């Protein structure tokens, strides 16, 4: 029996958050044949998310199209965390699309849930290196999901003992793997009452791709994520020269503002054996240090899940090059990194017509 179960009884359960605030809600949840009340205060914002919504049952919040519950008031090993979620008529939350991942990370940061690690639904206990959720769906690997530190990317398989999926704040809430016996906070998920869950297009071993419409592209361009792109692998240019090279083909350096497009680019690069190349994108902070914008005038998205990490022992997040690295490129693991604009990389162009 889990250590917290004696606290559950028919009545009201007062749950204390890390900052000692107490939420006293009267949301009814059923565990097996016993019913109990679970009070949760999951947010520091003014919105009371514990009362549920039309889409989510009581205790759960609507985040994008999903209904998570951020359990920050108790920490458990992986299996006990799952049992808690089951008692709350849910399961550990499963992340299988880039959009769901971005929504979750944005919500965590907006609500300041940044003090502890979170278990997610995913293990490779059955087969080392084959990550699946409790429902059997593939856990997507690679960018933009898993933490990437310069020359290495999670998951790692040191000693073969890290079989459970988690989100650590020390890694800016990118995914990592940890021993299932570790004690962590966790995120439960209930079924969205108003939306049928879309079927993921699993592309093992990388998981679902971006959803894109069918488009017809000019010669030398290929459709990726609903856009016509040209991967100029036969020429390496400075950032400015790369812009000119794209302009000569009625295009511009690619501006990525949608996380599904970044995922689609990553999958295309790996599927077509282009992973030895580094590609310029259209972003820079040359006009104002620290203010990253694309040549289109759109702001470059910052933070997780776009920008990569450095130094696993003392993690920091890109961009970190200051005034000496003012141009945006993707390479190695294909998350965002800043480089000297004089570096010579391959242009990645998007057709503008």
Give me the percent of the chain exceeding a pLDDT of 70: 80
pLDDT digits (tens, 9 = 90+) for 87-141: 999 999 999 999 999 999 999 999 999 999 999 999 999 999 999 999 999 999 9
Q: How far is CA 167 from CA 162, 196, 255, 305, 323, in A?
A: 13, 26, 28, 12, 31
Check pLDDT > 70 for residue 14.
no
CB atoms within 10 A of CB 247: 14
Q: What is the pLDDT of residue 213?
A: 53
pLDDT band at 150 (very low <50, low <70, confident <90, very high): confident
Q: What is the pLDDT of residue 194?
A: 87
Characterize 46-58 residue by residue with b for buried, 16 or more Cβ atoms within 10 angstroms of its Cβ, and e for exposed: eeebbebeebbbb
Q: What is the pLDDT of residue 36?
A: 29
Of the listed ranges 17-21, 80-84, 275-279, the least confidently predicted one is 17-21
Beta-carbon contacts of 2 under 8 Å, excluding residues fewer than 6 positions away, are 76, 80, 83, 84
327-331/279-284 β-pairing: antiparallel
C-alpha–C-alpha distance, residues 202 and 296, integer Å: 33
Nearest to 269 by CA among 333, 343, 203: 333
Check pLDDT > 70 for residue 48.
no
**What's 169's DSSP letter?**
G
Q: What is the CA radius of gyration of the chain?
A: 22
C-alpha–C-alpha distance, residues 295 and 281, integer Å: 9
Check pLDDT > 70 for residue 201.
no
pLDDT band at 15 (very low <50, low <70, confident <90, very high): very low
pLDDT band at 303 (very low <50, low <70, confident <90, very high): very high
Q: Are 114 and 216 in contact (CB under 8 A)?
A: no
Total H helices, total E strands in the chain:
4, 22
C-alpha–C-alpha distance, residues 255 and 207, integer Å: 23
Q: What is the pLDDT of residue 47?
A: 33
Q: How far is CA 215 from CA 22, 193, 226, 258, in A?
A: 53, 34, 7, 18
Nearest to 188 by CA among 47, 305, 40, 54: 40
What is the enclosing helix (H) or strand (E) of 74? Answer: strand 67-76
Q: Which domains does the chain have, with CATH numbers?
A: 61-190 (3.10.100.10), 222-351 (3.10.100.10)
DSSP calls for 183-210: -EEEEEEE--SSSPPPPP---TTT----
Check pLDDT > 80 for residue 23.
no
Collapsed DSSP state (helix, strand, coil) of residue 1: coil
Characterize 259-280 residue by residue with b for buried, 16 or more Cβ atoms within 10 angstroms of its Cβ, and e for exposed: bbbbbbbbbbbbeeebeebbbb
pTM of the entire predicted model = 0.83
Burial label for 88, CB within 10 Å (0-12, 13-18, 19+), is: buried
Check pLDDT > 50 for residue 26.
no
Of the listed ranges 64-78, 145-159, 223-237, the least confidently predicted one is 145-159
Between 115 and 214, the more confident residue is 115
Q: Are 301 and 253 in contact (CB under 8 A)?
A: no
């Amino acid at each position: 029996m889990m250590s917290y179960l004696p606290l559950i009884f028919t009545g009201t359960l007062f749950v204390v958050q890390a900052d000692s605030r107490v939420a006293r809600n009267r949301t009814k949840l059923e565990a097996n044949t016993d019913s109990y009340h679970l009070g949760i205060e999951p947010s520091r914002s003014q919105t009371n998310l514990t009362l549920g919504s039309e889409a989510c049952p009581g205790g759960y919040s609507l985040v994008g199209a999903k209904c998570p519950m951020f359990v920050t008031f108790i920490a458990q090993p992986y299996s006990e965390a799952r049992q808690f979620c089951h008692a709350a008529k849910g399961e550990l939350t499963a992340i299988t699309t880039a959009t769901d991942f971005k929504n979750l990370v944005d919500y965590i940061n907006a609500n300041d849930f940044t003090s502890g690690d979170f278990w997610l639904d995913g293990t490779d206990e059955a087969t080392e290196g084959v990550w699946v959720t409790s429902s059997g769906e593939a856990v997507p690997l690679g960018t933009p999901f898993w933490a990437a530190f310069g020359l290495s990317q999670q998951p790692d398989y040191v000693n073969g003992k890290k079989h459970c999926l988690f989100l650590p704040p020390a890694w800016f809430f990118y995914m990592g793997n940890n021993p299932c016996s570790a004690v962590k906070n966790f995120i439960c998920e209930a079924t969205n009452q108003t939306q049928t869950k879309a079927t993921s297009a699993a592309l093992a071993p990388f998981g679902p791709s971006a959803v894109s419409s069918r488009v017809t592209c000019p010669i030398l361009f290929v459709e990726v994520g609903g856009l016509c792109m040209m991967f100029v692998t036969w020429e390496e240019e400075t950032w400015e020269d790369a812009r000119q090279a794209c302009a000569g083909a009625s295009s511009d350096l690619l501006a990525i503002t949608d996380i599904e497009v970044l995922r689609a680019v990553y999958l295309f690069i790996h599927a077509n054996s282009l992973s030895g190349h580094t590609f310029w994108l259209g972003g820079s902070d040359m006009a104002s240090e620290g203010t990253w914008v694309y040549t289109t005038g759109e702001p470059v998205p910052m933070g997780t899940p776009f920008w990569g990490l450095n130094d696993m022992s003392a993690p920091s997040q890109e961009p970190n090059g200051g005034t000496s690295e003012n141009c945006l490129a993707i390479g190695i693991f294909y998350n965002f990194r800043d480089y000297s604009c004089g570096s010579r990389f391959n242009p990645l162009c998007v057709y503008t017509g």
